[in-house]
Amino acid sequence: MPDTPAPILYSAAVPPSPRDEARGLALVALSTMAYGILPVLGKVAYAAGTRPMPLLAWRYAIAASLILLLERGPRPPLRERLRLWAIGSVFVGNSIAYFRALETIPASVTALVLYTYPMIVAVLAALLGVERLTWRALLAAACAFAGCALTARGGPSGAPPSPSGIAWALLAALVYASYLVLSSRFGQGVSARVLALHLAQASAVVCTAFALADGGLSLPLDPRGLLAVAGIGVVSTVVAMTIFLAGMAIVGPTRASVLSSLEVLVTLGLAFLLLGERLQAGQWAGAALILGAVALQSASALRRAARSSPRPEAGRPA
């Protein structure tokens, strides 16, 4: 995981250098791979008899412990920590809704419905003054959403997905969009690991309370389930969260959310290989739209980075 001493959210007045922009895009892309395996691991854990709230409680307990070991710097003032914990209380709502959806609809459909959120992010970021709403951002987000809609067609069983599962997934999208914008606006100047630590701590407290009220924290003693829970905690939380936050601090929430649509392709591929979910022609067309959205939003920055020299530039963070 990269060391990010004090990432900031670049504004239009102080744009990132081409090299920093490419680095931010690369961090977000790597995080999508770690996040993409999450629904598949969740399905494996459910198949082993794990319940949602104990799974989430252990996920964030593992994550908070590991990030605490990695983050050895000074802690922010109490007022700032309270603000970060408040952001974490929003973030955990996304996780709860997401794993509730995963109980009743396929992994691929759960992941894909979540990707209605780039359009929500673009609108919220503009309303709060975090980013300017451009036609380019809207077009890229719309392409990503259309691609997700196509790839979600025709679940592996051929039956329409559960309405309650779709509702939970849409709620997860709304909460996740809110979290992205809030963490971009109110987490400025905070180390990615410090922000991730407070998100994990708040999530662990909330999920533990819900789990204790709903039967306890015990997990089935099934090696597959235990490994899946551990993988969710380490790979799909610690690794994914810290590098995503570091990348988003550079490129902003709208571009990060569009680029993270690559997570859909990771999930579809793993669901095909591990869960037997077949990719149909329409789903491949959706994948092409998602890649087109990523190219529209990010290719120019990568081309500029390839042509740039490594000299220091004014305004770059130390």
DSSP codes of every residue in the chain = ----SS-----SSSPPPHHHHHHHHHHHHHHHHHHHTHHHHHHHHHHTT--HHHHHHHHHHHHHHHHHHH--SPPPPHHHHHHHHHHHHHHHHHHHHHHHHHHHS-HHHHHHHHTTHHHHHHHHHHHTTSS---HHHHHHHHHHHHHHHHHTSS-TTSSPPPHHHHHHHHHHHHHHHHHHHHHHHHSTTS-HHHHHHHHHHHHHHHHHHHHHHTT-S-----HHHHHHHHHHHIIIIIIHHHHHHHHHHHH-HHHHHHHTTHHHHHHHHHHHHHH-PPPPHHHHHHHHHHHHHHHHHHHHHHHHHHH------TT---
The percentage of residues in the chain with a pLDDT greater than 70, rounded to a whole number, is 82
Q: Per the domain annotation, does 186 fall within a domain? A: yes
pLDDT tens for each residue of 67-83: 888 877 778 888 889 98
pLDDT tens for each residue of 172-184: 988 988 887 777 7
Least confident of 6-15, 118-127, 217-226: 6-15
Q: Per the domain annotation, does 1 fall within a domain? A: no
Residue with tokens 């109490």: 78
Q: Per the domain annotation, does 45 fall within a domain? A: yes
> Residue 4's pLDDT is what?
28
Q: Per the domain annotation, does 19 fall within a domain? A: no
Q: What is the pTM of this model?
A: 0.76
> Residue 17's pLDDT is what?
76
Arithmetic mean of pLDDT, 269-290? 76
Could you tell me the residue range of the domain that residue 294 belongs to? 26-306
How confident is residue 313, by pLDDT bands cut at 50, 70 and 90? very low
How many structural domains compose the chain?
Answer: 1
Q: Per the domain annotation, does 103 fall within a domain? A: yes
Arithmetic mean of pLDDT, 27-41? 89
Q: Per the domain annotation, does 220 fall within a domain? A: yes
Asked whether the beta carbons of 63 and 233 are under 8 A apart, the reply is yes
How confident is residue 13, by pLDDT bands cut at 50, 70 and 90? very low
Q: Per the domain annotation, does 232 fall within a domain? A: yes
Q: Per the domain annotation, does 14 fall within a domain? A: no
